[in-house]
Amino acid sequence: MSDCLFCRIVAGEIPADVVLRTDEMVAFRDISPQAPVHVLVIPVEHHANVAELSAKAPQLTAKLLDAAAAVAAQEGLGDQFRLVFNTGAEVGQSVFHVHGHVLGGRDFTWPPG
Ligand code: AMP
């Protein structure tokens, strides 16, 4: 989709700090990081959100989760990371190409511990 920001990043039309790329997945650093590690993991194939992805392409959903875990390990987070899929504008989704936010490197517990 030529009007999709993340499709354009996949195509290399918009620069991004890519940390992982396979035939099916791309991961790149969030432009406005909310944690020391904040990487977005997306499938190359366009789907609007994780609900649509899981309904239409369950195997790709599993691969997206695998890629998120691989990015966390690659970034030195081990198995301590937060994975967020905002789904819908009312909860803050602003780019409608499914993306998992891999977040880590700071305390996310409440109260902070
Ligand atoms: P969401 O609000 O869940 O849709 O997340 C979209 C994310 O994309 C936000 O955290 C933005 O900071 C991030 N973002 C927007 N444009 C870019 C870009 N050009 N490169 C990297 N991250 C971006």
16 lines ligand 1 (CB under 6 A): yes
Q: Evaluate whether residue 70 is within a structural domain.
A: yes
Q: Evaluate whether residue 96 is within a structural domain.
A: yes
Q: Evaluate whether residue 109 is within a structural domain.
A: no
Q: Evaluate whether residue 49 is within a structural domain.
A: yes
CB 27 within 8 A of CB 103: no
In tens digits, what is the pLDDT along the chain, a chain of 113 residues?
Answer: 679 999 999 999 999 999 999 999 999 999 999 999 999 999 999 999 999 999 999 999 999 999 999 999 999 999 999 999 999 999 999 999 999 999 999 999 999 87
7 lines ligand 1 (CB under 6 A): no
Burial class (CB in 10 A: 0-12, 13-18, 19+), 47: buried
Q: Evaluate whether residue 111 is within a structural domain.
A: no
- Asked about 99 being catalytic, the answer comes back as yes
- CATH number reported for the structural domain that contains residue 71 in this entry: 3.30.428.10
Q: Evaluate whether residue 65 is within a structural domain.
A: yes
Q: What is the pLDDT of residue 1?
A: 67
93 lines ligand 1 (CB under 6 A): yes
Q: Evaluate whether residue 79 is within a structural domain.
A: yes
Neighbour count for residue 97 (Cβ, 10 Å): 23
- What is the 8-class DSSP label of residue 102? E
49 lines ligand 1 (CB under 6 A): no
Per the structure, the count of domains in the chain is 1
Q: Evaluate whether residue 100 is within a structural domain.
A: yes
Query: What are the structure tokens assigned to 4, written together?
Result: 């999709």
Q: What is the pLDDT of residue 112?
A: 85
**What are the pLDDT digits (tens) for 94-110?**
999 999 999 999 999 99
15 Cα nearest atom in ligand 1 = 19
| Residue numbers of the domain that contains 46 | 5-104
Catalytic choice (38, 97, 99, 101): 99
